[in-house]
Amino acid sequence: MTATVHVLTNGYAGERVAGTVTLILDGDVVAVVDPGMVADRRLILDPIAALGLAVEDVTDVVFSHHHPDHTLNAALFPRARFHDHWAIYRDDLWQDRDADGFQVAPSVRLMRTPGHTRQDITTLADTDEGLVAATHLWWNADGPEDDPLAEDLGELRASRERLLALRPTLIIPGHGSPFTRGVDH
């Protein structure tokens, strides 16, 4: 069994900002990655409904990091457990754990990828087409090559190299459309 990945809305950054929001299905797990700022919540809700799902069906929400443009709409998913770099949260339960290597589902795991922030994580999904990475290691396919808001450019570059060594077939960036990237970039 492998995961299926759906980009619910492509993000952007400029005068206005929206995060890329992704849905991953793997068995009984329905995970949303980075339900942050969008121009209208329907940009998240309508694609979920088009897949035959309701917000109550979402089992997990993953935050790549804690900036509002990636977290703002988390409350749309009342039954989900929430994942960040160091814990899982559900209702009034806070369960400490390191995200690095944590299995959200059989084909979905988390990877610590500091750089943009020291707490950044990437969601990795094994699909029939190959490995898909939802990450803020890139804003979008066109750059910027050096993240202007990175807390540590050295860590960012090292995290990119570690991720690219896994040979992802698709990268879903923090603020843009999915893209492919060769391991030499």
- What is the extent of the structural domain holding 54? 4-172
**Residue 177 in domain:** no
Quick one: residue 29, left, alpha or beta (phi over 0 = left, psi -120 to 50 = alpha)? Answer: beta
- Residue 184 confidence (pLDDT) above 70: no
User: Residues 121-166: pLDDT tens digits?
Assistant: 999 999 999 999 999 999 999 988 999 999 999 999 999 999 999 9
Task: Say what percent of the chain tops pLDDT 70.
Answer: 98
Spatial distance between the Cα atoms of 10 and 140, rounded to a whole number of angstroms: 10
CATH number of 70's domain? 3.60.15.10
User: What's the rounded Cα separation, in Å, for the pair 1 and 71?
Assistant: 29
Domain membership flag for residue 184: no
185 within a domain of the structure (yes/no): no
In a domain, 178, yes or no: no
**Nearest of 48, 50, 62, 60 to residue 19 by alpha carbon:** 62
* Strands 130-134 vs 81-83: parallel, antiparallel or unpaired: unpaired
In a domain, 180, yes or no: no
> Residue 9: beta bridge partners?
21
Per-residue b/e over 16-33, b at no fewer than 16 CB within 10 Å?
ebbbbbbbbbbeebbbbb
Domain contains 57: yes
Per-residue confidence (pLDDT) for residue 143, from 0 to 100: 83
pLDDT of residue 182: 58
Q: Is 179 inside a domain boundary?
A: no
- Say whether pLDDT at 78 is over 70: yes
- Mean pLDDT for 38-67 is 98
**pLDDT for position 185:** 41
Whether 183 is covered by a domain: the verdict is no
Q: For residue 107, is pLDDT > 50?
A: yes
Number of domains in the chain: 1
CB 139 within 8 A of CB 102: no
The arithmetic mean of pLDDT across residues 76-102, rounded, is 97
